[in-house]
Amino acid sequence: MNSLDPRVIRLPDIGEVGRINPKPALDQFGTYEVFVLPKEGKPFQHEGIVHAPNLEMAYVLAKETFTRRFTCASLYVVNTLDVFVSPLSEGNQNVYDQIPQILNQNSAKVNYEIYHLPKRGKQHVHVGRVSASSPEEAFSIAKEQFQKEKIVYNVWVIQSTAIRYTMNEEKDLWLTLPEKKFRDAAEYKGGEKLKEFLKKSKR
């Protein structure tokens, strides 16, 4: 290939110029939802998704995609398929009003994490954990425990064991973030140099 960039010239001939075979489904893998704890003492919040071949890779990619800057205390990921989603309400409707009561199921209980959407257009925020025998029951218990006066528009429920958490020994992943000044706008102050230049050019 003719190019200004020698690295482009050196690219191997592979495939056919201008053609690509249509990708089969899942060529780009499934999706994983990413939650970030920006600071100790704040709740985890949903930040977006990554495509990954498995939970472990999703964790690595999430770290690169969502925590390159500012501060991060912790991060976790979960397969999109493992998130149970309530209906979405609007205006002054509280979505908890649409959730039926399903309680007292006698089978074994496990932990579920509960997330609220406090405002349309914002991110889901972690509000706490309940113990329930099914996701449906988890919604009902969440309604009892977490429904306050404030309107909730959407609720997510995730079984805790489905989540790939940050382990204690991994928390040092973000210790060096504040040192990476080259990613920080504040590091590029041109004001002094500019002033000096303007003074000189006036003379």
Partner 1 sequence: MYGGGNTFEEVKTDSFSQEDPIKLAEFEARIERGEKIEPSDWMPQLYRKQLIRMIEQHGHSEIIGALPEGTWITRAPGFKRKMALMAKVQDEVGHAQLLYSAAETLGKSREQMIDDLITGKSKYSNIFNYPTFTWADCCFISWLVDAGAIVNQLANAKGSYGPYCRALDRICAEESFHLKYGHHCVIYLASGTQKQRDMFQEALNRWWPPMMHFFGPADKISIHTQVLMKWKVKMGTNDDMRNQFLDMYVPKIWELGFTIPDSQLKKNSETGRWEYTEPDWEEFKRVINGDGPCNKERLEVRRIAEERGKWVREAMKAPNQKYVSPLA
Q: Which residues contact 186 (CB under 8 A, 6 or more apart)?
A: none
d(CA 168, CA 128): 20
- Polymer length in residues for the chain: 203
Residue 65 host element (H or E): helix 55-66
| Smallest separation (angstroms) from partner 1 to the CB of 111 | 21
Binding positions for partner 1, rule: CB under 8 A: 1-5, 7-8, 11-12, 14-15, 17-20, 22-31, 33, 46-51, 53-54, 57, 64-65, 68-69, 80-81, 83, 85, 88, 90-91, 120-121, 123-124, 154, 156, 180, 182-186, 188-190, 193-194, 196-198, 200-201
| Smallest separation (angstroms) from partner 1 to the CB of 107 | 25
Q: Which is nearer to partner 1, 94 or 133 (CB)?
A: 94
Helix, strand or coil, per DSSP, at residue 44: coil
**Is the Cβ–Cβ distance between 10 and 41 less than 8 Å?**
no
| Smallest separation (angstroms) from partner 1 to the CB of 54 | 6
| Smallest separation (angstroms) from partner 1 to the CB of 56 | 11
Closest by CA to 151, choosing from 179, 116, 182, 180, is 116
Q: Which is nearer to partner 1, 17 or 167 (CB)?
A: 17
Q: Which is nearer to partner 1, 175 or 182 (CB)?
A: 182
Amino acid letter, 47: E
Q: Which is nearer to partner 1, 43 or 109 (CB)?
A: 43
Amino acid letter, 9: I
